[in-house]
Amino acid sequence: MPLPKDVLRLRIKNEVEMCQRELRHHISVSDPNLTSFPIMVSVTLLRVPGPDWEEGKVVHRFVHRLAILISHDYPMEKPIVKWMTPIFHPNIMAPEDGGYVCTKLLENWDFSSNLMTFIKGIESLLTTPNPRNPFGNDTCTRAAAYFNRKRYNPPLVMNQSDKRIRIVGDAND
């Protein structure tokens, strides 16, 4: 049974505002009034290293875009997530392959799940690909084979506000 519309709008509003306040990423909503479903939450991850493949080698990309589609059955129904930027990852399909994201956060989605936890989980997934559980398409299986041979070592990212080094996904992040 879905949440009452007013409760649903308030929950989504609070989750989006918390993400905008607590995360350094750009987050916008397709319908600011949260009345027209599905709602698309556009997320641009900034300063998060993730693997890409260019000219025969793995390179680091630091800006990533994804779209999160929220239905009127949220949070009982998990959102639909589409990756929008180039990537070389066993658990994230490139946009031209569908842009699907394979993560336990979506598999185990329940009423207590939220956008903040999901986005932080995506940050972690970018820096720690899981080659043992890839999608079955060509790009993801090639990425899995690559990362089974060679561990992905993302560069350290400097936090501009306090000039301290942080590791994405670190408990102090």
Helix or strand (DSSP H, E) at 126: helix 115-127
Catalytic residue status for 102 = yes
Q: Which of 68, 102, 126, 143 is catalytic?
A: 102
Burial class (CB in 10 A: 0-12, 13-18, 19+), 165: exposed
Handedness of CA 146, 150, 151, 152 (dihedral sign): negative
| CA angle (15, 96, 27) in 5-degree steps | 20
Q: How far apart are CA 38 and CA 79, in angstroms?
A: 10
Residues annotated as part of the active site? 102
